[in-house]
Amino acid sequence: MVLSVAPDDAETEGPRDPERTAEVLAALASPHRLEVVALLAEGDLPVSEVARRLGLSVANASHHLARLRRPGLVATRREGTRVVCRLVPTEVLEVCSALSRLADRASDP
């Protein structure tokens, strides 16, 4: 099922591909992964540095990065023996910010 609305309703437009949207949201549905996004927004980092800055094991950081890689939010490249990660779509920061605002509003009585 694909949802669409008239172009002049772009601000209230729903997801065009709900399953793909759910996949992206599921990848972001972790405090650690949101922290990874915030870190990578500052610039590319090796997996080991992501782990160090978040106080995670390299294996745990790699797991979270893999969850972000699957829907295409993070890309990696090899530099010698290191794997360096970068945030791919700039919109992911806008999405995280909007979700944060939504969470704040939803928790208000």
Mean pLDDT of the chain: 87
**What 3-state class would DSSP assign to 3?**
coil
**Any idea where the domains of the chain sit in the sequence?**
15-97
More confident residue, 37 or 93: 37
Residue 2 has pLDDT above 50, yes or no: no
Strand partners, 46: 84
Q: Class assignment of domain 15-97?
A: mainly alpha
State pLDDT tens for residues 8-55. 444 556 668 899 989 999 999 999 999 999 999 999 999 999 999 999
pLDDT at 83 (0 to 100): 96
Residue 4 has pLDDT above 60, yes or no: no
- Average pLDDT in the 72-78 region? 96
